[in-house]
Amino acid sequence: MTLLTKLPGRGETSPMVSIIVHFLLGLACIAGIIASNPKIFAKPAGGPWLSPLEIVYYIAGIASIVLGYWFNIHFVMGAHGQGNLVSGPASYPTFIREQFANPAAGSGNQDYMIANVILMPVFTIVDGLRRGIRRPWLYFLSSFFTSFAFPFAFYFATMERQRRHAQSTAAPTTVDA
């Protein structure tokens, strides 16, 4: 199987094809969240487009994507583009196996996997539905294509945006006498 490393009749493709596809799928998840929730992502009345707290969340989330892709690109390039998503040096099984290369790495990665595969989707889906966020499962899906920290940062920014919308509609108006 040569999934994402060879195109039919064209031979070997760039080892970066899978990275680019992942990036585009991540953007599609983010776009899906925003498009599904236009009222949440609209500019809050009487305030700036982004609050300082939202900016902090977005900076942290974007930094996690940049750092994650830096390491992922080096992982794929270090394998010289050999393999595909399911087998070979640049495959997911190899990627997962190397996350447990020693006890220190395994300790951190078991924590990451439990948080990413169980806690984050339960939290974002249950809390998102309670808050009226449409398609909250997209936050979890995006974690497969962006980073683990990004969906949390994006979700926290979404919660802050909802708080700001609620605050702007509940704020009493002043009347000059």
User: Could you tell me the pTM of the whole model?
Assistant: 0.83
Q: Is residue 151 part of a domain?
A: yes
1 is a domain residue = no
Q: What is the mean pLDDT of residues 151-155?
A: 97
The answer to the question of residue 58 being in a domain is yes
Contacting residues for 81 by C-beta, under 8 A, at least 6 apart:
5, 12, 14, 15, 90
d(CA 164, CA 62): 22
Average predicted confidence (pLDDT) for the chain: 87
Q: CB of 59 within 8 A of CB of 168? A: no
Please tell me the total count of domains within the chain: 1
Residue range 9-31: mean pLDDT, rounded:
80
Give me the pLDDT at residue 2, please.
42
Q: Cβ distance 19 to 69 under 8 Å?
A: yes
Chain segment 82-140, per-residue pLDDT in tens:
766 677 787 788 888 999 999 999 999 999 999 999 999 999 999 999 999 999 999 99
pLDDT confidence tier of residue 3, bands split at 50, 70 and 90: very low
Distance CA 70, CA 54 (A): 24
pLDDT at 86: 73
Q: Side chain identity at 169, as an amino acid letter?
A: T
Domain with 133, as residue range(s), is 51-73+101-163
Predicted pLDDT at 134: 97
> What per-residue confidence (pLDDT) applies to 39?
95
Q: Residue 174: what pLDDT? A: 56
